[in-house]
Amino acid sequence: MENLVYLDGKWFPKSEAKISVFDHGLLYGDGVFEGIRAYKGNVFKLAEHLDRLWESAHTLMLKIPLAKKEMESVIVQTLKRNGLRDAYIRVVVTRGVGDLGLDPTLCPKATVFIITDKIKLYPESLYRDGLAIVTVPTVRNLPEAVNPSIKSLNYLNNILAKIEAKNAGVMEAVMLNHQGYVAECTGDNIFMVKRGGKAGTKPLVLTPPVYVGALKGITRQAILEICAELKIQSEERIITRHDLFNAHEIFLTGTAAELIPVVKMDGRVIGSGKPGNVTGKLLKAFRARAVRDGVKF
């Protein structure tokens, strides 16, 4: 039996869920989206995801034809109709149907669709053994061009970097900004861990600030909150490739990825070459939080 997809007020089997070829989301990437996770009947950080969706739409002057509470209800209904308690949720709002020109004011109503399904971004072995990544030539979008804080349907910047990663034989890549500072990866935020203090064991968790070109990741924010709960010092700080090469641990965060360790970057072994203790501790705490922090259904 096919999963059902919500589309503009109705549910359709996925093979029948279709949008117009004149939709500006398809023609121009004019729209916004969110990737959300459900864990054991809990939609993790749903309010935060919807806030970010509305912020992205507001910047694009795109009116979402549902209230936030309605959107929340429709997401939960879609999960229930598909009998899914553990799922990946893709919420998409496009500019809607218009003509072949750019003018968004000629699109009278936005299109909304919601897909709920399973996702496995990385094999389980990489959570155990760690990931190898590279730095790619494609730089992150400038905030004064297409601001990376807008989670838009135009992901060509990320896709070009992903192609470069795949060509290098790895699954993920670091993207720098136009100044050469670390921004984020193609689909994940990036963190590093340094150890210091007199005993050389006190960890410091660092991640690039949003203004260098990083998305305001929901999982990223959850990790910063968990660090505070566990009394692990964390900071947003400008990071270079040199800093990453000499980190004791690196890990990536994202809705689909959750938290995944990195053990090699640009041919350099990171730390011991194995996932670190801080990464493991944060992943365990995140998975415990994921089943309780959000909207239960």
Concatenating the DSSP letter of every residue in 212-225 gives GT----HHHHHHHH
Query: What confidence score (pLDDT) does residue 152 get?
Result: 98
Q: How far apart are CA 93 and CA 30, in angstroms?
A: 9
Q: What is the pLDDT of residues 247-276, one digit of tens each?
A: 999 999 999 999 999 999 999 999 999 999
Considering the candidates 14, 45, 109, 151, report the single residue annotated as catalytic. 151
Active site residue 14: no
- What is residue 176's predicted lDDT score, i.e. its pLDDT? 98
Residue 57 has pLDDT above 80, yes or no: yes
pLDDT given at position 221: 98
Amino acid at 70: E
Q: How far apart are alpha carbons 237 and 109 in whole angstroms? A: 41
Residue 201's pLDDT is what?
73
Helix (H) or strand (E) holding 173: strand 172-176
Which pLDDT belongs to residue 198?
Answer: 53
- Count CA atoms closer than 13 A to 233's CA, side-chain side: 9
* Domain architecture of the chain: domains with CATH: 4-117 (3.30.470.10), 124-292 (3.20.10.10)
C-alpha–C-alpha distance, residues 155 and 162, integer Å:
10
Q: For the whole model, what pTM was predicted?
A: 0.95
Show the tokens assigned to 151. 């989670």
